[in-house]
Amino acid sequence: MIEGIACVVAVVLSLVISVAGDRSAKKRKQAFWDRYGSFEGFRNQVDQERIQGVRRKRGDVAAMKAVRDEYPYVSLVMAKRYVEELPA
């Protein structure tokens, strides 16, 4: 009996977390497009030299983190794309 209730609670909780995560992702995506208009608009605002310096010293992952720290509305996918498209 208790195990059944625990199972139902776990399912409901995971559903709530899923919906909240989806809403957050949608808000972040909308904020990105409202703020930058496009990926090119975002790229033009980033301090490329600073991110390249982080990339050279600490690697791609640290550069992606630096992008996301400085530009909180940027998704991990966009930060990864930005870092991968930087000139070496």
Per-residue pLDDT, averaged over 14-39, amounts to 77
Per-residue pLDDT, averaged over 2-27, amounts to 69
Please, which residues have CB within 8 angstroms of residue 79's CB and are 6 or more apart in sequence?
64, 65, 67, 68, 71
Count of domains for the chain = 1
- Interatomic CA distance for residues 73 and 80, integer angstroms: 14
Which structural domain, as residue segments, surrounds residue 42? 2-85
Residue 26 confidence (pLDDT): 82
Q: Measured between alpha carbons, how far apart are the two ends of the chain, in Å?
A: 61
Reported as a pLDDT band with limits 50, 70 and 90, residue 25 is: confident
Threshold 0.95, pTM exceeds: no
pLDDT digits (tens, 9 = 90+) for 37-87: 888 999 999 999 999 999 999 999 999 999 999 998 898 999 999 999 998
Per-residue pLDDT, averaged over 8-29, amounts to 70
